[in-house]
Homo-oligomer: A and B are copies of this chain.
């Protein structure tokens, strides 16, 4: 029979949603024969053996059916306990999510719409602009160059020009991807006070909470219990492919997020839920020490020409390009080195992201190549 040609018309929103710049790079990199990949967004370690064993036991013991929407009660109780220990008032109001991305999607769909301005410190995580567009809201980047810190002054200045009738959301991200900046307790307290005065609802993306190298992580929610907390197990535990994280929020907000989870994610992979119950008991100090050593190496070895703000968290650094970014990044590719262009994370195109989750060998070689390029460009 006659069949019409593929003539699908897409939803309007699809015009504004773009493919990830990191993914384009990933595809470019897959054409290189043996690249040094410092573009990675995941740790290089595997889940702890005891966590693997809990996952395996869950499969064998028949924990393969739907869980409650919010997650298995055992994991929620353990999370409530952990969050209490961090001084978070809404600790009991916690749900399991499909990674931090799952939590962000639910929070934004519940809180943001066409009448909402979502403020985002720039540089920002690549998915924010897309998630904000999906929710139908408007993103307002707040420039934080050159030190990459959101300050009360910068926040107030951003709002000064804003339409007072529009709802205000802020996505706060500490430790920050891509800059590696981890905020300290006092900074957060001052920021939260200003955010409250300016009428912001805050979503705190703390996906890199365990990856801090100077002072222990402090949650935004310790100061502001009205905020939505979003975290992941995936990066912490070395199983980003398992798609598991968690979110905490005031009960009325969590209720909305749960309503959305019911018919979208339905529940989080139950095997991963049981395994993460074990992960919460696991000491990850060795892994963090290892990453701190790589951070130190990067900070010490990278030529001052790159003007690096030393990362205090995550496994990313965001140095500035020592020459015209296009030219610099082409040189990197020529030498089979993959880093991520700064404009993937920012309205500016002056910096680039390196991941120090790469093994020490490639990391050392990659930094060597970067220094060599910086020298060549200076000599030209």
Contact = CB atoms under 8 A, between A and B. Distances in A.
Interface string A151-191: 00000000000000001000000000000000000000100
B65 A59 contact: no
B110 A14 contact: yes
A243 B252 CA distance: 26
Q: Which of A56, A64, A268 has the most CB of B within 10 A?
A: A64
A192 to B, nearest CB: 8
Contacts of A252: 6, 8
Determine how many copies of this chain the complex contains.
2
A95 interface: no
A188 to B, nearest CB: 12
A365 interface: no
Given A55-B59, A226-B3, A256 B14 contact: yes
Nearest to A89: B3
Interface in A4-33: 4-14, 17-20, 23
Nearest to A46: B62
B65 A226 contact: no
A91 interface: no
Interface stretch (A130-138, A325-333, A346-354): A130-138
B260 A134 contact: yes
Nearest to A125: B263
A115 interface: yes
B52 A226 contact: no
Interface in A256-282: 256, 259-260, 262-272
30 contacts: A1-B189, A1-B193, A6-B226, A6-B251, A8-B250, A8-B252, A9-B111, A9-B167, A11-B135, A13-B113, A20-B263, A42-B65, A42-B66, A46-B62, A47-B59, A63-B241, A64-B238, A64-B239, A64-B241, A65-B240, A66-B241, A98-B243, A102-B264, A102-B265, A109-B134, A131-B263, A131-B264, A136-B136, A243-B269, A271-B271
A113 B133 CA distance: 13
Given A19-B259, A239-B64, A243-B267, A226 B8 contact: yes
Nearest to A17: B259
A312 interface: no
Contacts of A167: 9
Interface in A36-56: 41-42, 46-47, 52, 55-56
A325 to B, nearest CB: 24
Contacts of A101: 263-266
A239 B196 contact: no
Interface in A204-231: 223-226
A268 B65 CA distance: 16
A120 to B, nearest CB: 14
Q: Which of A13, A20, A112 has the most CB of B within 10 A?
A: A13
A320 interface: no
A303 interface: no
Contacts of A63: 241
